[in-house]
Chains A and B, each alone.
Chain A
């Protein structure tokens, strides 16, 4: 009985104290306080979205620019009320640039597109394979000469292509490979080619982080080194393969240096190159039209050949855009998962 009252008293005390504490709490967690904090958060959130949307505009701008300019006709260009949206929807620019993008009479967009596709997809597939081999060796094995080979990979990452231009051209023309795809494909097959060393580094980084348990299990079960690689490790490396493939395709596609070096006749030109000689015509006209105007005045004064070039530019990157539309997720996610940024 005594204890019961004691407990009751204690409970009452606690309730009293609770109210007292709540009173203190009201000072720090009062509605006013919460409201103030929430508005602060809200304002910073709104600010964040404004910044991010403004920045997104900067990044979407090239695409919008291409699209708007490519649809404009001479009447729209001279019309000062037309800033972004042309008066009528007309595909003349596209029709004209379709044939001009062949780079050579008798060729159209299709031929140059095929040229680009062979080069970039072929190069990318071979690079995925060959760079994964080298990356696996450097990511999983420790062997005498490891530091030297690793140094060689880093070194070949740093050498500018300009330095190697003359001897490489000589080498390939000695083989009779100029104006074919072999100068792109053969170095790629050996883990070099366009940014090959970077892809090797990506694979090294990725294989380095994989746990060794699976590999050991395969080896104990009697799989050979190559079979372990092919059946166990390579399937695990899918994210790295994907990121290498995607980057390789895009970089091959946009590259003008190597293509201009090895594909020298207009009838073998790929899309980027065909666009490049298209601009030769446009540049002369542009100069003629804008002579004597200051930098800021030339905006909007462009003649229509430039609108055709914009249409051609859009056609050039259209395949990449379509690819990006479907693989955008992988570009972004796979960079995170491959651990390119690791150490």
Chain B
């Protein structure tokens, strides 16, 4: 009797859960699983455009071979997007962390400053950002205004100065890109109980020490979240050239099979990177004691 009751409860629990999930699971099948499988299949084919629509013609690994050997545009683009990820993600993390620490202090107009720091998420993304970059909006007048620039020209040889300026431009872009990450760090900082800092202070820890011994370990999960978010966010960023390239291949050269193949290469690369990130953070994730 009891066993049957438990069994029916278990069944009810499961039915309820899956009825809530039903919509999402159908969506997953329609808009994720089937397209993913299809695009995997296409990547091994040459897609012929005929009167009956697209007809696949099995070519084996030809598309992948083309991507890594004959296509001159693809590999540099891939390298570029990986390199910019490797440079930008750490910069975003460091900057977002610093900004979150600043905004977490008790300052006048904290809400205002938080609002300001989040502003680029609203305005400096998508098409508008592309337009502004065309006009050179990322070059702050501080660096390019004539007097400072000329003064620097005298001291530093232009060969060194130019890359530095490029880095400075990158930095403004990084700052505009880190709105969501700042918020996530802020939310993480607020879960740390103040009593930990008090205890550390009593024991004579300096602020620097308590940052590395308390704040940093407590915030590692958010570093993971932010790293993954930054990587995933860069896929759909308007500045992602890979996206434009695949779109050109598909819609201007009408090469569906090849488009699917390079899409898959990009996906595998991204997946490996995210896997590496998880591997790095694996150990630090277990410790979440002392939260509020």
Contact = CB atoms under 8 A, between A and B. Distances in A.
A binds B: yes
Contacts, number: 291
B245 to A, nearest CB: 9
A69 B133 CA distance: 13
A118 interface: no
Most chain A beta-carbon neighbours within 10 Å: one of B118, B187, B271: B187
B116 A60 contact: yes
Interface residues of A, number: 103
Contacts of A312: 131
Interface in B123-165: 123-128, 130-132, 134-137, 139-141, 144, 149, 162, 165
A202 to B, nearest CB: 11
A162 B246 contact: yes
Given A144-B14, A250-B122, A167 B107 contact: no
Interface stretch (B29-37, B57-65, B86-94, B198-206): B29-37
Most chain A beta-carbon neighbours within 10 Å: one of B23, B111, B126, B130: B126
B102 A55 contact: yes
A174 B216 CA distance: 51
Given A130-B23, A167-B35, A61 B113 contact: no
B111 A329 contact: yes
A309 B187 CA distance: 37
A313 B131 contact: yes
Q: Is the interface of B mostly helix, strand, loop or mixed?
A: helix
Most chain A beta-carbon neighbours within 10 Å: one of B116, B140, B238: B116
A136 B18 contact: no
Interface in A284-343: 286, 295-296, 298-299, 302, 306, 309-310, 312-313, 316-317, 320-321, 324, 328-329, 331-332, 335-336, 339-343
Most chain A beta-carbon neighbours within 10 Å: one of B17, B117, B130, B232: B17
A200 interface: yes
A51 interface: yes
Interface residues of B, number: 95
A14 interface: no
B236 A296 contact: no
A62 B260 CA distance: 36
Contacts of B19: 225-226
Contacts of B54: 170
A94 to B, nearest CB: 15
A89 interface: no
A156 B28 contact: yes
Interface string A179-208: 000000001011111111010100000000
B14 A143 contact: yes
A160 B267 contact: yes
B27 A192 contact: yes
Given A198-B232, A328-B111, 8 more contacts: A133-B23, A159-B267, A171-B34, A190-B31, A200-B24, A272-B127, A313-B132, A329-B111
Interface of A: 48-49, 51-52, 55-56, 58-63, 65-66, 69, 83, 130-131, 133-134, 136-138, 141-144, 146, 149, 152, 156-171, 187, 189-196, 198, 200, 225-226, 229, 250, 253-257, 260-261, 271-273, 275-276, 279, 282-283, 286, 295-296, 298-299, 302, 306, 309-310, 312-313, 316-317, 320-321, 324, 328-329, 331-332, 335-336, 339-343
Interface of B: 13-14, 16-21, 23-28, 30-32, 34-36, 38-39, 42, 54, 99, 102-103, 105, 107, 111, 113-128, 130-132, 134-137, 139-141, 144, 149, 162, 165, 172, 175-176, 183-188, 190-191, 221-222, 225, 228, 232, 235-236, 238, 242-243, 246-247, 250, 256, 259-260, 263-264, 266-267, 270-271, 274, 288
11 contacts: A61-B137, A141-B20, A157-B232, A161-B236, A164-B32, A165-B250, A167-B42, A171-B34, A194-B236, A260-B247, A272-B128
